[in-house]
Amino acid sequence: RDLLVKVQLGVAEEDVGGCRVAARTRLPPGIYVDPYELASLQQHNLTQALLMPNAVDVEAPEYLATDLLVLLYMEPDPGCSGCFSAVLPVHGRYHRPADNSEEALVVLKSPEVLACCCNTHLRTECWKPAELEAPCPGSTKGACQWYSVTHKPTYQESILQVPVGLRQHSPLVCALTLLTTVLCSSLVLAALCKHGHFS
């Protein structure tokens, strides 16, 4: 699924012309970003983001995974003055089987909106400096001073529904898995005996 983030800053368009806007969001253990997919998207200039930590275990189930912090750089929205947007592909992790529901709910909190105005003289005295060591894309400097922008989120949180198995189906799934394994092993062994060359 794609996570769409949109922001409208309450400042004049000429003031934000040299600024970069980013959304810092914490992904709970139930969802993750595939770093290889993200690298491919960044290579084609389709999205820009930093993962913290940058090593993500895409195979870990939800109950063994940890939170993931993502800094998602946003682009100006041509159809809206002072608006920025970005899209981030996210994936659901495997969850433990449930007792009576075929879906697990993953709650995603509203992201923190950050701005970096390295090349402008935008008055930022009303913004709180953010504790973040990250570059400001397009700037020749290293890490820039990011500021936390006060905003009113449309939704305080989003809820993602992830399909899960039912615990009462476990015996049937185990039996079918064992039967399939035995059948496939038998077919491989039969083909090997019939066509194999043994010395």
Q: Are residues 102 and 130 in the same domain?
A: yes
Closest CA to 68 of 85, 84, 44, 52: 52
Q: Are residues 140 and 186 in the same domain?
A: no
Residue 162's pLDDT is what?
81
- Backbone phi, then psi, for 5, in 5-degree steps? -120, 125
CA pair distance 197, 47, nearest whole angstrom: 53
Mean pLDDT of the chain: 80
Residue 18's pLDDT is what?
66
Q: Are residues 191 and 158 in the same domain?
A: no
Count of other CB atoms within 10 angstroms of residue 189: 11
Q: Are residues 171 and 143 in the same domain?
A: no
Q: Are residues 147 and 194 in the same domain?
A: no
Residue-wise pLDDT tens digits, 106-129 = 888 888 888 887 655 555 555 677
Domain containing 54: what range? 2-165
Instruction: Looking at mean pLDDT, say which of 25-34, 41-50, 52-61, 90-99 comes out highest.
Output: 25-34
Q: Are residues 144 and 191 in the same domain?
A: no
> Confidence band (pLDDT; 50, 70, 90) for 146?
confident
Q: State the total domains in the chain.
A: 2
0.85 surpassed by pTM: no
Residue-wise pLDDT tens digits, 180-192 = 999 999 999 988 8
CB 103 within 8 A of CB 159: no
**What amino acid occupies position 61?**
P
- For Cα atoms 80, 86, 87, give the angle at the middle one, nearest 5 degrees: 135
Tokens describing residue 79: 């159809």
